[in-house]
Structure 1
Amino acid sequence: MKNLENTPKIYVGTYGQYNDGSLFGKWFDLSDYSDSKAFYKDCYEYHRNEFLPELMFQDWEYIPDFLISESWLHEDTFRYFEITDEMDEDRAEAFEIYCSSIVLWPSNGNDLDETLQGFEESYQGYFSGTIKDPELEFTYQYIEDTGMLSDVPELLQRYFDYEAFARDLFLEGYSEYDGHVFADY
């Protein structure tokens, strides 16, 4: 959880207090914990004045919705943040997109390591710079990387329709989300 400005936090109250009309709780900074066991221990300790408190996550910041709900924190949340902390910002954003929009992890039943492996195989990169169209920018890179036009005379290369080829690539084979390109496997 390297970015202290965007540190994941959860406001933890209890259903008992909420049902009594109170929003009493506390913000817990997840960067203070190494795992969910320590986090839950502190939550229960904070609400020790209640007999068997039923924790309620009333609000959260910088935690993807697929990892949390009002009464649930996914068991791999801390591992997810360990993994994304090792990535640069673009790659971490792409991994969140991959989990939430492409493979629908964790509801797909895969474990986090399988999901990470699939992401590594699928992710092609972030394209949003020079051309302003991520799909077209990826297509230029794809053609250069594959050497597709390397045996074509330069005079004829000028007539290649990159836009049409980009449409074909993204109709079947690749997907783009906010500048991030993924291979469809």
Structure 2
Amino acid sequence: MEIYVTNLSQYNAGKLVGEWLELPCSEEELQDALSRVLDPDKEYFITDTEGLPFTVNEYDNIYRVNEKLEQYVALEATEALCVTFLLSEGYDWNYSIEHHEDVIVYAEQNLEDVAYSLVEDGCFGAIGTSLENYIDYSAIARDLSYDGYREREEGVFYYVG
């Protein structure tokens, strides 16, 4: 996960002075990198990012971005997926970190497979074997998408919050 930090006053003077920073890093490493890019100037902006799980604006606080990434890499893989899912659904960083445990991740790759699993698990009540052939799983899948179930590359996600 990287950001490109650019010296703002040099940029305004027509020079591109900047550096890619790999985050998260220690505060000392961050200060050293910023001093290389900014000295003697103090203003910067973020020109580009790669691999970040959240959106960064050009004038965001780099120390706060670094702190967020430290939190992110400390998560288990599934927890990180849940945080990324909540962020993609429009929730802010703090909310996503606090509520990632309220996301259910289904290993199935599409909503119709989830519909089959939910029927098998009895979520719609007991259904006799003579009626199983009449169940419209694609309609259940469509309704699940209306209820907030989302298909993603990593599986199907549902936020219960």
State TM-score, norm by structure 2. 0.77
| Cα distance, 1:95 vs structure 2 | 2.3
Q: 3-state DSSP class of the match of 1:123? A: strand
Tell whether the 8 Å contact from 2:3 to 2:49 is kept in structure 1 after alignment: yes
State the match for 2:49 in structure 1. Answer: 60
State the match for 2:32 in structure 1. Answer: 42
Q: 3-state DSSP class of the match of 1:10? A: strand
Q: Provide the aligned C-alpha RMSD in A.
A: 2.8
After TM superposition, the runs of 4+ consecutive aligned structure 1 residues lying more than 4 A away are none
Aligned mates of 2:130, 2:61 — CA distance in 1: 59
Q: Which runs of 5+ in 2 are unaligned?
A: none
State the match for 1:144 in structure 2. Answer: 120
State the match for 1:4 in structure 2. Answer: none
State the match for 1:131 in structure 2. Answer: none
Tell whether the 8 Å contact from 2:7 to 2:44 is kept in structure 1 after alignment: yes
Higher relative contact order by CA 8 Å / sep ≥ 6: 1 or 2?
Answer: 2
State the match for 2:71 in structure 1. Answer: 82
Match of 2:59 among 65, 68, 71: 71
Q: Aligned pair count? A: 158
Q: Identity across aligned pairs (percent)?
A: 22
| Alignment of structure 1 residues 1-185 onto 2, 5 Å | 8-31=1-24, 33-34=25-26, 37-38=27-28, 40-47=30-37, 49-50=39-40, 52-66=41-55, 68-73=56-61, 75=64, 77-88=66-77, 92-99=80-87, 101-106=88-93, 112=94, 114-128=95-109, 134-146=110-122, 148=124, 151-171=126-146, 173-178=147-152, 179-183=155-159, 185=161
Q: 3-state DSSP class of the match of 1:141? A: helix
Aligned mates of 2:107, 2:89 — CA distance in 1: 16
Q: Could you tell me which amino acid in structure 2 is paired with residue 141 of structure 1? A: S
**Per-residue Cα deviation, 1:131-166 (whole angstroms, up to 9, x for no partner):** xxx1111111222234545x4331222222222222
Q: Which runs of 5+ in 1 are unaligned?
A: 1-7, 107-111, 129-133
| Cα distance, 1:24 vs structure 2 | 1.6
